[in-house]
Structure 1
Amino acid sequence: MKKLGFLVIVASIVSSLLFGLTIQAATFKDIPNNFWAKSEIDYLFGKNIISGYPNGNFGPNDNVKRIDAAAMVVKALNLNTTNRPNPQFKDISRSTVGFDVIATVVDEGIFTGTDGSFYPNKTLTRAEMAAIINRAFKLEKKSTKVTFKDVNSKFWGYLDIQNLVGHKITEGFPNNTFQPSNPTTRAQFSVFLTRALKGKEGNTGTPDKDSFEVIGIY
């Protein structure tokens, strides 16, 4: 009887924790149940990869900064940030907030700088996002016949973008563009990162065609 009672208590605690997590993952005030990226946002939130703002919002349409993307990648891959070499960028120092994260993604070859600077607060473009996802997850090269009107074969991120298409992580916009220079939003990055993570875990799938056609965020 004592053993049974103990098991009941444990089961109740586990149930409460799981229920609490489910409720907590759905409490962003600006993410309704029918939001196109809700499942991906909840997935990353459940893994402690992303979080919301103190006001209870997620800010799905806010642009992602390079430092924010770096932090999410570090958490997603569970990278060790200790004792990483100083990347020697002109615009950061060891006292810079997020220095350990920047040093880690640079040491791993996931991020690079430009003209000796990292630009941590600069908005991450969609082309940069494609390159980062490819490097972070070491995606196998896959050929695809899909081409975008605004990404020619000489564009620096052409192969990275094409590879995301090959892995079914992106399909571009309905007008056959990828918009590589446009900023990456928090919702978009959540979707791309989730698909890459699930692909790594062996849980692949095709993008939601309905969401793709209506919203055109891929």
Structure 2
Amino acid sequence: MLRIRLKYLVLLPLLAGFLAAQIVQAATAPPGSVNNPVVSRSYVEKALQPLRDEISRLAAEVAALKAQRAVKFDDVPTTHWAYDSITYMVNKNIVKGVGAGKFAPGSQTTRAQLAVMIVNALQLPTTGVKAEFTDVPASHWAYSHIAVAQKAGIISGNDGKFRPNDSVTRGEMAAMLVRAFNLERLNKAARFSDVQPGYWAYDLIMRVADNGISRGYEDGTFRPANKVSRAEVCVFLALSLDPARRK
């Protein structure tokens, strides 16, 4: 009997040391672990904070997206073929409505208006530059934007004139987009039956097509002399600005 008691006495120091180690380990182990199963509320709050922060960030992004979708014009329903591009451009403050809740998507775009949109899209500074076109006086509403676009090599004119109030054509728009966004010729298979080599904008139109900004019409034409509507401008510019939108 004495031998058995002595045996347990020998084990007591070992057991005490083991228990002490467990106590230290529990004190330093994170709550909820095997060594420290008790979870305090403060620990849970701290552990969940990164998750709360991420949820808040995602909620803000969702709210921003909803705000974008909230842009509404009476004449641009969600079913309009250019609705997404118009919404994209409006939310970037590149283009605005025409007033009274209207956007006038089918209205033609003037050369001055397109110059303004492109300058806004590129966020070019519009101070300290002078236009050199004889038909664009300093009093013109788009003077500074036209001056900047001219200096940047985005626009040009004939006989010293820009013709700011003329409706822009699809060929002219292609030329402005190529110069504004430095579109390269990729030599893809895109061809248009009404745009042949030798046409003044042939290479420019091919660059726009190569980069997925325009595929032309279903009948295989590009119709470079057609006037460009406000809706079309929004689509072309949105595709130029955001390559991810190209398909």
If the TM-score is normalised by the length of the shorter chain, which range does it land in? 0.7 to 0.9
**Equivalence for 2:208:** 164
- Amino acid in structure 2 at the alignment position of 1:72: M
**Equivalence for 2:68:** 22
Rounded Cα–Cα distance in structure 2 between residues aligned with 1:198 and 1:18: 18
1:76-91 alignment runs, 5 A limit: 76-84=121-129, 86-91=130-135
**Equivalence for 1:71:** 116
Rounded Cα–Cα distance in structure 2 between residues aligned with 1:194 and 1:19: 17
- Amino acid in structure 1 at the alignment position of 2:120: K
What is the SS of the residue equivalent to 1:62?
A: coil
TM-score by length of 1: 0.82
Percent identity reads: 34
- Any runs of at least 4 consecutive aligned residues in structure 1 with deviations exceeding 6 A, and if so which? none
Rounded Cα–Cα distance in structure 2 between residues aligned with 1:114 and 1:40: 32
1:1-218 alignment runs, 5 A limit: 18=64, 21-22=67-68, 24-25=70-71, 27-84=72-129, 86-199=130-243, 203-206=244-247
**Equivalence for 1:210:** none
Quick one: structure 1 residues 16 and 151, their matched pair in 2 at CA, closer, same or farther if it must change by over 3 Å?
closer
- Amino acid in structure 2 at the alignment position of 1:48: N
Quick one: structure 1 residues 192 and 16, their matched pair in 2 at CA, closer, same or farther if it must change by over 3 Å?
closer
What is the SS of the residue equivalent to 1:128?
A: helix
The alpha-carbon deviation at position 113 of structure 1 amounts to 1.1
**Structure 2 residues without counterparts, runs of 5 or longer:** 1-48
Contact residue 131 and residue 144 of structure 2 kept, 8 A: no
Contact residue 238 and residue 245 of structure 2 kept, 8 A: no
Cα RMSD (Å) = 2.1
What is the SS of the residue equivalent to 1:57?
A: coil
**More relative contact order in 1 or in 2 (CA 8 Å, sep 6+)?**
1
Aligned length, in residue pairs: 193
**Equivalence for 1:216:** none
- Relative to its length, the structure with more helix (as a share) is 2
TM-score by length of 2: 0.73
**Structure 1 residues without counterparts, runs of 5 or longer:** 207-218
